[in-house]
Amino acid sequence: MSLLKQFDQKNIEAGKELHRFAGELYPICRSITGDGIRRTLSMIGDRIPLKTLEVPTGTPVFDWTVPKEWNIRDAYIKGRAGKRVVDFQKCNLHVLNYSTPIRATMPLGELKPHLHTIPQNPDWVPYRTSYYKEDWGFCLSHNQMLALKDEEYEVCIDSTLEDGHLTYGECYFPGRSDDEVLISCHACHPSLANDNLSGLTVATFLAQLLSGRDLRYSYRFLFIPGTIGAITWLARNRETAGRIRHGLVLTGIGDKGRFHYKKSRQGNAEIDRAAAHVLTHSTESPEILEFSPSGYDERQYCSPGFNLAVGCLMRSVWGNYPEYHTSADNLEFIQPLQLVESLRVCAAILDVLEHNRRYVNVNPYCEPQLGRRNLYRSTGGEAIGAEINARLWMLNFSDGKHSLLDIAERSGLPFASISDAADLLLHNHLLSLVPGDGKQGTDRGELSPENSLRRS
């Protein structure tokens, strides 16, 4: 099975579909709790088998407590003329996310401390939150604020902050092994496209690719509110977390930037090497970042008590592009081809994990005679090709200790070439699989049409 080979011919089509789905999710006002994330999960659930879970307000989760549920219907600032000068209906970033309700009239001077702007990008509306300190506020463009006259304003935030639930979604595909691969993305940001509709849509389509296949690993997809969602999931699944062998947090993978992979805290885990290998061989100028304890939910998965092998795949790094956490992170900021390239990268990384086994050369003393098996060139004296080269690497380093990824790294050849050579040599009885090193599935040609991209 190669995930990657499934959508080779459908790049543009798949990219457009990814972008279309992002467009459907874009208008929803999400937050870490409430109906926004519920509606989002329901739309994802139309595409993949998603289980939605609800955790009551007040539930203790490690050092934290599940917060009140926030819902919002409307919010605005009206000037003396009765016209909405700031209007939540036009853009849900306008309200400080998690604002407490307010209805009041006040002079500009009193309002101002509750206004958030970005002076250096005066046309953009910032995205701000106040989850853990009760507060209210508005976000608006700096030019909007400068235009505000010194007069009385009617201020309304029609929100509720009440006992309710924290909601998250989980999609699980059992594999031949109980060992799991985790794909996690935060689903709590309102109308921001790269952060993180890009992650949500790519994860959804990646789950579609896996659906119905014979898999080596079991796969768990989490669509969760950032920070508190990961903490809640980990608090409720301490046992399950122990099964996670490899993991990826997907975020900010729709923009035009080159790829960045931030390593897990372990620093040299198989996922770290697989991601670095795939990015190096199939994308332009990728950058591999060392682990640091700021970022996304890898912070929780890589907290010292868990220390899971979970890295983070990004294109531009959060905080390092001006559109980050502003209204400029919109549907134009992400593009179909970038989304589908990110999906391909994810598929290629999973292909590495699925196929990374160790083999033993059954003729370890000297080279076997490839020529009489039609696995070598017949006229001597000329250069040998890349395919033969991959076979020689496989034979020389298949001593039961080196994995395919070890050999790919050492040879400088792409994993797929090494993996193809392994298949061929195994078929020719020149290699044997190290016993117990990941049972080989019988999944060749097992693609169920109903589970391919076309299903979506």
**Amino acid residing at 102:** I
- Contact track, a copy of itself, 403-442, x by CB under 8 A: -------xx-------------------------------
Please measure the distance between the N-terminal and C-terminal CA atoms of the chain and give it in whole angstroms. 20
Q: What is d(CA 134, CA 161) in angstroms, rounded to the nearest whole number?
A: 9
By the rule CB under 8 A, 113 interacts with a copy of itself: no
Asked whether 191 and 26 are in contact (CB, 8 A), the reply is yes
By the rule CB under 8 A, 158 interacts with a copy of itself: no
Asked whether 193 and 157 are in contact (CB, 8 A), the reply is no
Using CA atoms in the order 224, 337, 354, 169, what is the torsion angle rounded to 10 degrees? Answer: 20
By the rule CB under 8 A, 140 interacts with a copy of itself: no
Q: 119, 380, 436, 445: which one contacts a copy of itself (CB under 8 A)?
A: 380
The interface region with a copy of itself, picked from 80-88, 159-167, 216-224, 295-303 by CB under 8 A, is: 295-303
What are the residue ranges of helices labelled H in 72-215? Answer: 108-111, 142-146, 198-210
Q: 393, 414, 416, 417: which one contacts a copy of itself (CB under 8 A)?
A: 393
Site for a copy of itself in 9-48 (CB under 8 A): none
- Contact track, a copy of itself, 233-252, x by CB under 8 A: -xx--x--------------
Pair of tokens at residue 431:
């290699």
Do strands 180-186 and 244-250 pair parallel, antiparallel, or not at all (unpaired)? parallel
By the rule CB under 8 A, 135 interacts with a copy of itself: yes
The strand pairing partners of 103, in sequence order, are 156
By the rule CB under 8 A, 397 interacts with a copy of itself: yes
Pair of tokens at residue 98:
């998690």
The interface region with a copy of itself, picked from 68-76, 80-88, 213-221, 305-313 by CB under 8 A, is: 305-313
- Nearest one of 295, 359, 349 to 324, comparing CA atoms: 295
By the rule CB under 8 A, 57 interacts with a copy of itself: no
List interacting residues with a copy of itself (CB under 8 A).
Answer: 61-64, 97, 116, 126-133, 135, 227, 230-231, 234-235, 238, 265, 290, 292-294, 299-300, 302-307, 319, 325, 361, 363-369, 371-372, 378-384, 389, 392-393, 395-399, 410-411
